[in-house]
Amino acid sequence: MNSESTNSFYNFSNRNDLTAIIKSGTTISYKDLFAQANLFSTSFSQYGIKKNNYVALLVEDQTKFIETTIAVWNLGAIPVPLNTKLLSDEISSILDEYDLKFLVSDSLHDLRVSFESSNFGGEREKNNVSHKITNTQSFTKINLLNSDPCLTSFLPYSTPAINDEAVVIFTSGSTARPKGVVHTFSSLINSIENGSQILNHKENDRWLASLPFYHIGGFQIICRSLYHGCSIVIPESLQTNDLASSISKNNPTHLSLVSTQLERLINQKVEPESSLRVSLIGGGFVNDELMFEANELGWKPFRVYGSSETASMVTAISANEIKNKPQSVGRDLDNVEIIISDDSEILIRSNSLFKKYLDDEKETLSKLINGFYHTGDLGYVDDDGYLFIEARRNDLIVTGGENVNPIEIEKALLQIPGIIEGCVFAKSSKTWGQTVAAAVVCNDSSIDEKMIKEILKQKLAGYKIPKKFFFFDQLPRTSLGKLERDKIRKMF
């Protein structure tokens, strides 16, 4: 940590008159938010967390997630948010694969991880678990219980330097190993400033926490709010009814939604108040007609394109613009340059690009080349500068805003006795953007869809399990024996 830092996420940390969090009719000021985070920092330091440590966060309570993130930053450490939908074995694999030495979790998480370390707030039952993380590596587990830490004072902490690492966001990639995208405070802040032409923030604006914080879109809701002095509106859950209720009661000025969320809100006849100025709609395919309908109902939507590697959006387009540019994802934002390679790959240069992939220099060098991020997406830019996505070079499936790696699912399928081949692919869905489907070859006639799904429930998070199975005698392969994924995909 550098005392000469100018980290803008701390600009409002002493403001008692400014609301940081709105939840269940109560408010927390910026001063109280940072004071609570400082208490956690003191507690975390007693467990040995220090500068440059990567700290896994498995925190479902959104208020505690924000407090914990700031607490980790205070120590010069780097938060590594984990998907709270993952099963214990999946979490264990990530902890082991990346040799993460610290895991902070809360008692609200369904996994009920077994905690061996002392709990904050005094002695509590330590083995209230339904699943246990079983990996054998050594790491410290810190349990955030519902009560506050039993501390009345805290040590002063310097804010992190602007070029320090700020977060690791996991994203599925072209291999079975999840990729940890490392961002600095600088890249996150640059992304926020680049998006100002669309978002036009003001102090006291209200951001609805409508996306999981373990995704870059959700994490940037926190960062944008801290940077501009906005209030983060935390709904009871991310279920449609709770989002609708929070929108009605708290009148957010800014929203960030995946298309599935937007469509469900519209189907429930939810209409925003005039206070809403912008809705960012992304996380995968967004239908033109949905954008038009949302615009007519007052959602003021912008279709956006970006990724974990770009610290969220790098292009944006309004519904009105889409009328003249159907299917476009918009023009590049400030400080973003987009070029198309000779083989039609979309390359992005921006001051918001990630620093590296965690513990993966080879993958980093293959994606960051001469200052450009090689997205793996195929597309073109028209004469007016509007970007169009034609295809994704990798086979990543984006369903309801969640990234699904087909290779991971295929490996799980092949562990089921009687399944000898499997190919996982995306099917278009009006509701989800894409859904997960699988073509399988079996040598056991007793295997059916219901049986496969029941087995996969023990191996994979629910959103990864294919919604539809197709059974074949054999699957098309190349002369080298590789599955012809495009041919299989086109069959459906």
**pLDDT tens-digit map of 29-64:** 999 999 999 999 999 998 999 999 999 999 999 999
Domains of the chain: 8-381 (3.40.50.12780), 397-490 (3.30.300.30)
Tokens of 275: 């206070």
Tokens of 409: 């699912």
Check residue 408 and give its pLDDT: 86
Check residue 352 and give its pLDDT: 98
Q: By the 8 A CB rule, do 283 and 237 touch? A: no
**pLDDT tens-digit map of 120-156:** 433 333 333 333 444 445 778 888 864 445 555 566 7
Check residue 176 and give its pLDDT: 58
Check residue 130 and give its pLDDT: 31
Check residue 186 and give its pLDDT: 97
Q: By the 8 A CB rule, do 32 and 19 touch? A: no
Give the predicted TM-score (pTM) of the model: 0.84
CB atoms within 10 A of CB 1: 16
Which residues contact residue 359 at a Cβ distance below 8 angstroms, ignoring those fewer than 6 apart? 98, 99, 180
Give the burial class of 240: count Cβ atoms within 10 A of its Cβ; 0-12 exposed, 13-18 middle, 19 or more buried.
Answer: middle
Check residue 411 and give its pLDDT: 85
Q: Could you state, in chain order, the average pLDDT of each consecutive group of 10 residues for the chain (492 residues)?
A: 63 97 96 94 92 96 96 97 88 91 75 42 33 53 64 72 96 71 98 96 96 95 98 96 96 94 94 95 88 97 96 98 96 98 95 97 96 94 95 78 86 92 89 91 93 94 94 78 76 80
Check residue 355 and give its pLDDT: 98
